[in-house]
Structure 1
Amino acid sequence: MTTPDTPTTGTFGTAPVVSVKPVVLPAPERGTDLRVRVSAPATGEDLPVVLLAHGFGSSLDGYAPLADHWAAHGFVVVQPTHLDSRTVALPEDDPRRPRLWRYRVADLKRVLDDLDTLVAAVPGLAGRVDSGRIAAAGHSFGGQTAGILLGLRVADPETGEAEDLSDPRVRAGVLLATAGNGGDDLTPFAAENLPWLRGPDFSRMSAPALVVAGDRDELPLTVRGADWTADPYVLSPGAKSLLTVFGAQHFLGGVSGYDAAETTDENPALVALVQRVTTAYLRHALGLGSAGWTAVREELDGDPHAVGRLESKE
């Protein structure tokens, strides 16, 4: 199905967006074919790519406030539906459940491997994509998935090994409300039921990334509080930036969808901040121009009434 969205306000930008779903990629070893949504501006050349990994339970239909905005501002946004999606409805005793985190990484790598097929599914997009400029983004569980492509290592719950699953095709990342350190920082519930959170190693996540954290993101997964989601910035080396969104809970004002029932802190101003800063960062990190990134850094640094704080390290 092809759905054209013609934006009329600055929320989306000025470029009409074309979105195609589902593009189905055969995945026999996964047990369920991979369903993908591809969104892109109707015009423009040499378009960079953003892989967007959804949070636990969501799908290719989630995160429209981000996907629409990025696509309208010149990015091809690719959204796979992971096996933990409610639309897949895996039974509780499905043997794939302990390795959901690993299937997610394989999904993103399959998207990279089959990028030409996905591009060809969007009318008029072929020949307009710059496959040398790719970023990975994700919210919550999706943030861990994207982080693994950047060098984050996760101790496999079954083997105990922390394998390097990074991908050199991914040049930068945006990690939104992403899990932090494991071990004693986890609640007993998280340690028992989400084994992929037990032993993350951020010390190898050296690729450039923007981490986005809400200062009221009090998750039942950690004993520490909201600062836990800043760990991907604090504990990783290399060029990193941290956007702290004031007053934001886990969905950062509503990035998961326009009418998402799970949003507990609905605030269009917070969503607009996340849209603006992530777009500027992606352009900066992928070498498309840093004027917007410089502007948002100066804006947040100089505005005492700003709804967020931006800091960076090299």
Structure 2
Amino acid sequence: MTQFKKFWLGCLSGLWLAVLGGQAPMAQAAERIYISFSLFERSIALRDLEIFAEEGRVQGSLGAYTRFFDDQQLEQFRAGLVAPIDLTPLSVAQFLYTPVGEGLLQRAGQVVRPKSGQGRLTALRSALILGAADPEGLTALSAIRNFPTQGVQVDLRSALGIFESAQQVLQDTQLAVKAIQAEPSVVPEEDLIARGKTLQVQGAYAWQKQTLKLNDDSVKRQTYTGRTRKFFADLYVPRAKADGPRPVIVISHGFNSNRETYAYLAEHLASHGYVVAVPEHSGSNTAQLQALLEGRARNIIKPTEFLDRPLDVSFLLDVLEMRSQTDPSIGPLNLEQVGVFGQSFGGYTALALGGASLTFNQLYEDCAQLRNTLNLSLLFQCQARLLIPKPYKLADPRIKAVVAVNSIGSSLLGSDAYGEIEVPVMLVSGSSDTVAPALSEQIRPFSWLTTPNKYLLMMVGGNHFSTIGVPATDDQNSIGEILDLPLGGPAPDEARQDLKTLSLAFMNAFVTNQPQNLEYLTPGYVSTLSQPALPLALTQDLMLEEAAAEE
């Protein structure tokens, strides 16, 4: 268990103590946690929590609650109260003063606030920053102790409302996943399964990797963003001489990632004859978050990053077009039939390149309801509100196929924009994704697609990080640690293998025009790849209304 998870365990365990009830006396102590539900209120003395954390001794108001816990739960609660997080006050402040951090504070402020009811966001932010400056570090106990008011109030009605909303989303997601799993399928012939093995293993081509240093000072970039853009890109190029122009695939990484994140996929595709180009989006990579936490950046991303990312890919293709004519180590290339793969923020990037345009009216409407959302990615999407609302031409006609994994864009793009996409699309979703929730960000958007060649691949139990190749599990400053997000998922090796197999089949079918690969994009074939730890399901035609009615 990470230290950050222990920290939140301490906070949540304290909340559950209150939920279980008791007859704690209402003493007039200066440092108390007040638990309220409508007109009813009980309290716990902070000193009682401190004694329990330091000595393991239960006394006073705490005793009315601990009887509901067994010894193991009590020990976990005690450890959670004092588990430190290795974040500096500056790092905490930098994150909490971003719009995303403030959005999270607003959501938390509905449950935890000063007893006076005044300055809830300021008080929460201050408690976390001062807690990080405490000699013992940022812990659940130090955050409570540094709450800048005499009492901390926990509103159980709001907490239960959030819980009920989450339960409804979970139920709706489960119904949709069941509908996908119920898709009629025919067990494929043995020879098809045997032929499919070639997709799963390394191809016949050896490849070489080279890195390009790019500087885009084009008129379009300057017009859209007001500045030039410098970034790197890795190329994976098959060594063998080609009979003709080689097909090209671009991989766009997610936020707080880099061009190594999907290196395993780039290598796999290159071994099957593709030239794979992997740009590093310099305004939303790992270095950008590090700069924020060290005080060298003012926000998680600049709003123009929603424009810069697709522009990165288009500029990279322009450079490849020029260099492929003069550099024998790269070309010749077929840049009229390009495939693009993206994960999370990269999924948005891929969809925008494939034809989806920014939809500001939908974005403004959804972002006005941020305090009620359970969709963490919406906090991120709403940064685009600061863009000048005008048409942006981000689609690239060279893109002929899109694979978007854990994609975001339900509000940023909206239903009409998904309907604008004409190229084949495969959305890949994890049913347990808490960052870009499957129902909001992939399942419903899939139903908005009107392109005849659309696929939704569901990794049942998969999360936002299931297919990432280089999860920063030990990086205390990673976004996963800051937000307590589960890095990795069930059966990560299987998730990556399945992604390699089906991405290759999809690109073969729609980039290099090998229609025989459509045989692998069926519920029957996908079922042969399923593992008990990570079941797979595929659909081309999901009707959400029918799924709800069947229940």
TM-score, normalised with respect to structure 1? 0.79
Which one has a larger percent strand, Structure 1 or Structure 2?
A: 1
Aligned residue for 1:256?
Answer: 468
Contact 1:19-1:122 within 8 A present in 2 as well: no
Q: In structure 2, give the amino acid aligned to 1:217.
A: D
SS at the partner of 1:244?
strand
Local SS of the residue matching 2:304: helix
What does residue 250 of structure 2 align with?
Answer: 51
Q: 1:131 deviation in Å?
A: 1.8
Alignment partners' CA distance in 1, 2:529 and 2:313: 38
Of 288-297 and 233-242, more deviation after overlay is shown by 288-297
Q: Counterparts in 2 of 1:220-299, with a 5 A limit?
A: 225-230=437-442, 231-238=444-451, 239-251=453-465, 253=466, 255-258=467-470, 260-261=472-473, 263-265=487-489, 266-297=491-522, 298-299=524-525
Q: Which amino acid is 2:488 matched to?
A: T
2:260 and 2:348 map into 1 onto residues whose CA distance is 20
Shift of residue 160, structure 1, vs aligned partner: 2.7
Q: Which residue of 2 aligns with 1:124?
A: 329
Deviation, 1:304, is 7.8
Q: 1:118 to 1:84 in 2, by over 3 A?
A: farther
Structure-2 residue corresponding to 1:41:
238
Secondary structure, counterpart of 1:55 in structure 2: coil
CA distance in 1, matches of 2:202, 2:297: 38
Aligned runs of 1:1-314 on 2, under 5 Å? 11-21=201-211, 23-28=212-217, 29=222, 30-43=227-240, 44-45=242-243, 46-82=245-281, 83-87=283-287, 89=291, 91-93=296-298, 97-117=302-322, 119=324, 124-127=329-332, 129-154=333-358, 155=360, 157=385, 158-182=387-411, 196=412, 201-219=417-435, 225-230=437-442, 231-238=444-451, 239-251=453-465, 253=466, 255-258=467-470, 260-261=472-473, 263-265=487-489, 266-297=491-522, 298-300=524-526, 307-313=535-541
Report percent identity of matched pairs. Answer: 22
* Separation in 2, partners of 1:304, 1:107: 35
Residues 293 and 272 from structure 1, CA distance in 2 versus in 1: closer, same or farther, beyond 3 angstroms? Answer: farther
Amino acid in structure 1 at the alignment position of 2:497: A
- The letter of the residue matching 2:454 is K
Deviation of the 1:118 alpha carbon: 5.3
Q: Deviations over 1:133-182 (max 9, x none)?
A: 20111100001011001111123522233534211111111111101422
Residue 68 of structure 1: CA displacement? 1.2
Letter in 2 for 1:310: L
Q: 1:290 to 1:165 in 2, by over 3 A?
A: same
Contact 2:340 2:399 in 1 (8 A): yes
Query: Would you say the 8 A contact 1:150–1:207 is kept in 2?
Result: yes
Shift of 1:296: 4.7
Contact 1:280–1:290, Cα closer than 8 Å, also in 2: no
With over 3 angstroms needed to count, the CA separation of the structure-2 counterparts of 1:216 and 1:25, relative to structure 1, is same
**Contact 1:180–1:228 (Cα < 8 Å) also in 2:** no
Matched position secondary structure for 1:24: strand
Partners of 1:120 and 1:293 in 2: CA distance: 33
1:96-140 Cα shifts (integer Å, max 9, x gaps): 71211111111111112111355479763322x222220111100
Question: Is the partner of 1:33 in helix, strand or coil?
Answer: strand
Larger Rg: 2
Give the Cα–Cα distance (whole angstroms) in 1 for the partners of residues 459 and 326 of structure 2. Answer: 36
Deviations 1:229-275 (A, max 9, x none): 32342212112111111221112x3x322565364215211211111
Q: Write the distance in 1 (CA, Å) between the matches of 2:433 and 2:327.
A: 37
**Contact in 2 for aligned 1:20/1:121 (Cα 8 Å):** no
Relative to structure 1, is the Cα distance of residues 65 and 260 closer, same or farther in structure 2, using a 3 angstrom cutoff? farther
SS of residue paired to 1:278: helix
Alpha-carbon deviation of 1:227?
1.8
Q: Deviations over 1:43-74 (max 9, x none)?
A: 24432111111101222222112111111112
Give the match's secondary structure for 1:58.
Answer: coil
Partner of 2:368: none
- The RMSD of aligned alpha carbons is 3.0
Number of residue pairs aligned between Structure 1 and Structure 2: 285
Q: Which amino acid in the other structure matches residue 20 of structure 1?
A: Q
Judge conservation of contact 1:25–1:33 (CA < 8 Å) in 2: yes
Closer, same or farther in 2 for the Cα pair 1:133/1:293, shift >3 Å? same
TM-score by length of 2: 0.47
* Structure 2 portions without partners, runs of 5+: 1-198, 361-383, 474-479, 481-486, 543-551
Aligned to 1:189: none
Structure 1: which 5+ residue stretches go unaligned? 1-8, 183-195
Specify whether residues 118 and 209 from structure 1 end up closer, same or farther in structure 2 by C-alpha distance, changes over 3 A only. Answer: farther
What amino acid does structure 2 have at the position aligned with 1:205?
Answer: I
- The structural deviation recorded for 1:18 is 1.0
